[in-house]
């Protein structure tokens, strides 16, 4: 399990020193030297409520989540070691073995969680890093001391694994462009996953029609569909565009032959589509060719296309064009 673990910002230095020197992460509302507010006691909630003269039992009840701590649980501590940073801590042992109560602490940080390992205590993890932005956006609502955040477990587990392996050394504050790049990447991924579910060419909502839409939004007219020569030549879309509209240095009409291959993402599109276009282009040497697929192209397909001036557009490139056509 993974938890958001808020600390008293006025006690950051003390908490930091105890993590570093004792491998102990402290939590407040412990009663100091007079409260005897051990979480292991069954009457903890009522005693804590009375001692601090609280209006509700919300905070002491929340603190009893410590009783659910298990070995290797992850505690995410915002603003530790310092404001604007975050650290991760791995719990050592199942409750109650991972917990002890020190009644000698006058600072009320009596609740002590034993930590196996910590990450970010050198200040190398910014709370504003792009990898953490989903969690950070929810942080203002994570106001109680201890809250499970299982929806972010994959994010933090990935980061911790990379910190352990040395793949990541630090996670600094990200700039806006980094956020936009990441946002664009996720939109493209979602677009690919959505398009994979539609028909290749047998309905109005099809991959072929999406290709036609993108081409039309980029200045082409689709004048013919599904041409075959009966000898292996095949074109899904025949397009033209008025070159005068795009450049003062060109004139006349350009023709484009397009093959739309809806292969699954993660698979590879071989040379078949390129060869189909080449057979048709032999009859009209001035025409240009383009193969569009949701997949990636094999090396042979890419080489054959490049040698014959045929443009190849993979799934990521196509979805970027699609999104630009929709919103641009």
What mean pLDDT do residues 167-173 have?
84
Interval 135-160: pLDDT, tens: 988 887 888 899 999 999 999 999 99
- Alpha carbon 35 to chain centroid distance? 44
> What tokens were used for 325?
């056509």
3-state secondary structure 46-104: HHHHHHCCCCCCHHHHHHHHHHHCCCCCEEEEECCCCCCEEEEEEECCCCCCCEEECCC
In the prediction, which pLDDT does 207 show?
92
Domain boundaries, given as residue ranges, for the chain: 2-176, 207-327
pLDDT band with cut points at 50, 70 and 90 for residue 264: low
Interval 221-242: pLDDT, tens: 999 998 888 888 889 999 988 6
Instruction: Decide if 267 contacts 295 (C-beta within 8 A).
Output: yes
DSSP 3-state percent helix, strand, coil across the chain (nearest 5)? 40, 25, 35
Give strand ranges (E) for 134-242. 146-148, 221-228, 234-242
- Alpha carbon 168 to chain centroid distance? 16
Interval 86-100: pLDDT, tens: 999 999 999 999 999
Architecture label for domain 207-327: 3-Layer(aba) Sandwich (3.40)
Rg (CA), the chain: 30
Q: Residue ranges of the alpha helices (H) in 222-263?
A: none
What mean pLDDT do residues 70-94 have?
95
């Amino acid at each position: 399990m993974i938890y958001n673990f808020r600390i008293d910002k006025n006690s950051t230095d003390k908490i930091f020193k105890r993590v570093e020197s004792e491998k102990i992460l402290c939590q407040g509302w412990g009663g100091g030297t007079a409260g005897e507010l051990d979480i292991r006691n069954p009457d903890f909630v009522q005693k804590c409520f009375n001692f601090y003269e609280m209006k509700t039992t919300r905070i002491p009840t929340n603190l009893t989540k410590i009783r659910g701590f298990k070995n290797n649980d992850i505690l995410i501590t915002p603003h530790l070691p310092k404001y604007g940073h975050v650290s991760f801590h791995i719990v050592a042992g199942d409750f109650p073995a991972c917990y002890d109560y020190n009644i000698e602490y006058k600072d009320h940080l009596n609740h002590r969680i034993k930590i196996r390992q910590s990450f970010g205590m050198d200040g190398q993890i910014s709370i504003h890093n792009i990898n953490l932005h989903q969690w950070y956006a929810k942080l203002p609502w994570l106001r109680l001391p201890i809250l499970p955040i299982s929806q972010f477990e994959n994010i933090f587990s990935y980061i911790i694994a990379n910190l352990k392996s040395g793949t990541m050394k630090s996670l600094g504050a990200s700039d806006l462009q980094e956020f936009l790049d990441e946002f664009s990447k996720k939109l493209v991924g979602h677009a690919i996953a959505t398009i994979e579910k539609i028909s290749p060419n047998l309905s109005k909502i099809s991959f072929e029609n999406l290709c036609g839409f993108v081409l039309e939004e980029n200045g082409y007219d689709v004048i013919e569909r599904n041409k075959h020569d009966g000898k292996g030549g095949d074109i899904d879309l025949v397009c033209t565009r008025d070159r005068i509209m795009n450049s003062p240095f060109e004139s006349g009409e350009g023709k484009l032959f397009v093959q739309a291959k809806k292969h699954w993402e993660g698979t590879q599109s071989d040379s078949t589509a390129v060869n189909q276009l080449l057979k048709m282009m032999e009859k009209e040497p001035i025409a240009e060719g383009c193969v569009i697929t949701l997949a990636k192209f094999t090396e042979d397909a890419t080489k054959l296309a490049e040698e014959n001036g045929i443009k190849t557009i993979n799934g990521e490139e196509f979805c970027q064009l699609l999104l630009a056509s929709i919103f641009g």
